[in-house]
């Protein structure tokens, strides 16, 4: 049995930085990873997807060149796109390895870690123990049990980025973040793309007006959607695949014929092979249960990142480790309760979001003021010919504090963080009312947005 000051199971976006900080304090730390350092973000998520989305965006703008008086021929070489992505991923992986190699008190175990007791872990047949254990094992793609699915090759976010030939017709099951980002990407690479979403709108968490505006923008590029429908059968054909979809309310089934199938209907937690029962760690449908300080029901065992449930974003995982570190080492009293959560959907137009949607605020019982304008009212967007989208801010009428906002447009993920500063500072929306913004910028749109705030 090898004793450690801390054991970290899983090297995603929470585990390694926490391991590094503890090792830098002279603590003896074990970091266990069965696959790649960096977790989903570096290997299957942020880094590779946004790298390939950048290639797709360049292709899209090159095709739009004549609008700007620029003429060129566009040819997609998906092998080169994938090679660029792979190089980017390797660069980040190597950086993660470098962080480990520089720390003498940090031991990296390449293998599958499993609890054998509340404070004991086995990896590669070796027993490790610690009074502090941190779980950061993330998630994997959820695969629906659809008749015939075992007869076809199913793509997920983990293997679709290894394709070296552009699909003729990509059928996407799931109209949320993964499905829309990959759907638009391959549309721009030259695929026909059909999205099937069981809810009555894409991006089900978002307000209806935001979702509708985004859908219209994607349809303008050639994507098609079947909403309120789900796949009931899949079959392999000589030319590819057939997917039978049925509407929620019944009626005649629709047969979709395609060449490739992408499953993008969410993730499941990597908690089922951790031996949690041996440690007595409680879960809820596989998600590890924690308190606001991210400690499980077993004292001295914490869970960080996607495996604990909730929004699955890299920056949330990273903040998780800061909450734990501050409570353990920084003598601070921090919890994840009440965190202001920003996130982005990297379609084009890009959706930046923070806080509550209007729908969520109404359900919570707030009296509201709402401001909303189309991106076509923003001078900089007009000049760039990027007028698709909208700006929206949701305000608590009782104290004029911003409850949330949606920025659907060019650089939406950047714009939303300006709104977030008002929320972090607990300042009223009126601080931005009739204020001076640089002309012409996208942020200048806040002037008109705030000028259109009304009680609703």
Residue-wise pLDDT tens digits, 95-149: 999 999 999 999 999 999 999 999 999 999 999 999 999 999 999 999 999 999 9
- Residue at 336 is within a domain: no
Domain-embedded: residue 333: no
Pairwise CA distance, residues 177 & 50, whole Å: 13
The whole-number pLDDT of residue 330 equals 79
> Of all residues in the chain, what percent carry a pLDDT higher than 90?
98
Residue 432 maps to which CATH number?
3.30.390.30
**Mean pLDDT along residues 430-438:** 96
Note the pLDDT of residue 251. Answer: 81
Alpha helices in 139-275 (DSSP H): 177-189, 208-220
Query: Last residue of some domain: 265, 297, 312?
Result: 265
**Domain stop point among 328, 352, 372:** 328
Q: Which domain holds residue 9?
A: 2-140+268-328
Buried (b) or exposed (e) across 325-351, using 16+ Cβ within 10 A? Answer: bebbeeeeebebeeeebbbbbbbbbbb
> Which pTM value belongs to this model?
0.97
Question: In this predicted structure, what is the pLDDT of residue 332?
Answer: 83
Q: For residue 335, what pLDDT band results from cuts at 50, 70 and 90?
A: very high
pLDDT at 252: 85
* Cβ count near 222 (within 10 Å): 13
* pLDDT value, residue 250: 84
pLDDT tens-digit readout, 184-214? 999 999 999 999 999 999 999 999 999 999 9
Band the pLDDT of 378: cuts 50, 70, 90. Answer: very high
* Claim to verify: residue 16 and residue 39 sit in the same structural domain: yes
- Is residue 383's pLDDT more than 90? yes
Is 297 domain-assigned? yes
Give the model's pLDDT for residue 245.
Answer: 97
Q: Is residue 334 part of a domain?
A: no
- Pair (378, 424) in one structural domain: yes
Answer whether residue 112 is part of any domain.
Answer: yes
Residue 222 falls within a domain, yes or no?
yes
| Final residue in a domain of this structure, among 304, 328, 352 | 328
Q: Mind listing the pLDDT tens digit for each residue in 219-273?
A: 999 999 999 999 999 999 999 999 999 998 888 899 999 999 999 999 999 999 9
Q: Which helix (H) or strand (E) holds 197?
A: strand 192-197
Give the mean pLDDT of the chain.
Answer: 97
Q: By CB neighbour count within 10 A (0-12 exposed, 13-18 middle, 19+ buried), where does 434 fall?
A: exposed
Residue 66 has pLDDT above 80, yes or no: yes
**Res. 331 pLDDT band, cuts 50 70 90:** confident
What SS3 class is residue 425?
coil
Residue 275 belongs to some domain of the structure: yes
CATH number of the domain to which 176 belongs: 3.50.50.60
């Amino acid at each position: 049995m090898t004793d450690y000051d801390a054991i970290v199971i899983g090297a995603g976006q929470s585990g390694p930085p926490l391991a590094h900080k503890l090792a830098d304090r002279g603590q003896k730390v074990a970091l266990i990873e069965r696959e790649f350092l960096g977790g989903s973000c570096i290997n299957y998520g942020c880094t590779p997807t946004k790298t390939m989305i950048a290639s797709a965006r360049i292709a899209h703008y090159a095709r739009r060149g004549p609008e700007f008086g620029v003429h060129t021929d566009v040819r997609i070489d998906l092998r080169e796109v994938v090679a660029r992505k792979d190089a980017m991923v390797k660069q980040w992986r190597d950086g993660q390895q470098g962080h480990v190699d520089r720390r003498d008190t940090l031991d990296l175990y390449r293998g599958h870690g499993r609890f054998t007791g509340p404070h004991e872990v086995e990896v590669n047949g070796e027993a490790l123990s610690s009074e502090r254990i941190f779980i950061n094992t993330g998630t994997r793609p959820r695969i629906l049990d659809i008749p015939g699915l075992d007869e076809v090759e199913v793509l997920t976010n983990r293997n679709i980025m290894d394709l070296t030939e552009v699909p003729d017709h990509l059928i996407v099951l799931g109209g949320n973040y993964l499905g829309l980002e990959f759907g638009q990407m391959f549309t721009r690479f030259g695929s026909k793309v059909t999205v099937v979403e069981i809810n009555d709108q894409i991006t089900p968490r978002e307000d209806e007006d935001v979702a509708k505006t985004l859908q219209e923008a994607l349809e303008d590029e050639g994507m098609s959607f079947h909403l309120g429908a789900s796949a009931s059968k899949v079959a392999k054909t000589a030319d590819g695949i057939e997917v039978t979809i049925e509407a929620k309310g019944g009626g005649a089934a629709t047969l979709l014929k395609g060449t490739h199938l992408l499953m993008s209907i969410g993730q499941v937690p990597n908690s089922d092979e951790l031996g949690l029962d041996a440690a007595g760690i409680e879960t809820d449908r596989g998600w590890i249960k924690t308190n606001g300080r991210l400690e499980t029901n077993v004292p001295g065992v914490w869970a960080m990142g996607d495996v604990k449930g909730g929004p699955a974003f890299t920056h949330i995982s990273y903040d998780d480790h800061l909450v734990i570190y501050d409570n353990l080492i920084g003598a601070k009293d921090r919890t994840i309760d009440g965190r202001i959560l920003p996130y982005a959907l990297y379609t084009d137009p890009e959706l930046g979001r923070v806080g509550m949607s209007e729908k969520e605020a109404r359900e919570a019982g707030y009296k509201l003021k709402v401001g909303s304008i189309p991106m076509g009212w923003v001078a900089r967007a007009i000049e760039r010919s990027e007028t698709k989208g909208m700006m929206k801010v949701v305000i608590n009428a009782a104290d004029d504090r911003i409850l949330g906002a949606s920025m659907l447009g060019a650089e939406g993920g950047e714009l939303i963080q300006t709104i977030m500063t008002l929320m972090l500072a607990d300042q009223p929306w009126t601080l931005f009312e009739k204020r001076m913004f640089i002309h012409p910028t996208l942020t200048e749109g806040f002037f008109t947005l705030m000028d259109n705030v009304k009680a609703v």
